[in-house]
Amino acid sequence: MYAASREALTQTRAALSSALGSVSAGAATAAAAQIGAELFSVVEILDEQRTLRSALSDTSTPGNVREGLAEQVFGGKVSAETLAVLKAAVGQDWSVTSDLLNSLVLVGREALLKAAADQGQLDAVEDELFRLGRIVAGDPKLEQSLSDRSVPAKRKRELLSKLLYGKVTAVAEALATQAVGRLKNSAPADAFDELSNLAAAQREAVVAKVRSSAPLSSEQSDRLTATLTRTYGKPVTVHVEVDPELLSGLVVRVGDEVIDGSGAGRLAALRKSLK
């Protein structure tokens, strides 16, 4: 994202904060959830209507004119708070049209995660999205169904919604179904991992993805979390995936850093040293 779009995103986030600050404390959680859901609906419309999205992002048109167009099209169809965020976004000069749409999605996600945080559900949402990614990655048929670009986005959302209904928080379901409808070149599991990482980022936590040769006990998981928290100097969320092919031990990935303490890793290192 170029500098112009980064600044535009900053202003759009500020508009979200302002919109949430304009409602009473008791209504802020519901307002955040509504803004997130409505921004997703706006993006869905813009994805389908090329002429409209081009008009709303045309930097040759004054920002106030673009804001007026947004109000004309969406006024009365979304809440006043959502409209304020949308107008702030389209009034900015974005480097490319896709930056506008992707940023509306991001701000929508952050609004929903704010609602989850207000309800004490942020940890649950993060964990649910991570586990969803692992389930999909381990089910080739489901992964194909969700990533098939010949299948309409609406059908993929409906499929995933049926699978998740009653099994995850409302915020996790909303985030996951929206993401699967806008998959580009990424795999569904990667999209869900990205959402899980975004949830962790909202509480300034580091995500450690752990592959273990066997399930970790609660005590082992707590000890690993404590060790990583001391190492990185901030809260660490540990997501564990069992992988018997490691033979023993575990592999920890934090960002681009990999700590390989597995039996398979030690064998590979030994083979390399013998060459």
Count Cβ neighbours within 10 Å for each residue of 99-121 and write b for 16 or more, e otherwise. Answer: bbbbbbbebbbbbbbbbbbbeeb
| CA 126 vs CA 52, 99, 122: distances in Å | 34, 25, 6
pLDDT in tens, 81-95: 999 999 999 999 999
Q: What is the mean pLDDT of residues 203-211?
A: 83
How much is the pTM?
0.83
Mean pLDDT, residues 199-209: 85
| DSSP annotation string for 54-95 | HHHH-TTS-HHHHHHHHHHHHBTTB-HHHHHHHHHHHTS--S
pLDDT value for 135: 92
The strand ranges marked E within the chain are: 206-212, 236-242, 250-254, 257-260
pLDDT tens column, 43-74: 999 999 999 999 999 999 999 999 999 999 99
Residues 229 and 207: their CA atoms lie apart, in Å, by 10
Instruction: Please tell me the distance from the alpha carbon of residue 99 to that of residue 59, in angstroms, as a whole number.
Output: 13
Looking at mean pLDDT, say which of 136-145, 179-188, 244-253 comes out highest.
136-145
pLDDT, residue 267, reads: 58
CA–CA gap between residue 245 and residue 73 (Å, rounded): 55
Six-digit token pair at 28? 């802020």
Task: Determine the pLDDT at residue 248.
Answer: 83
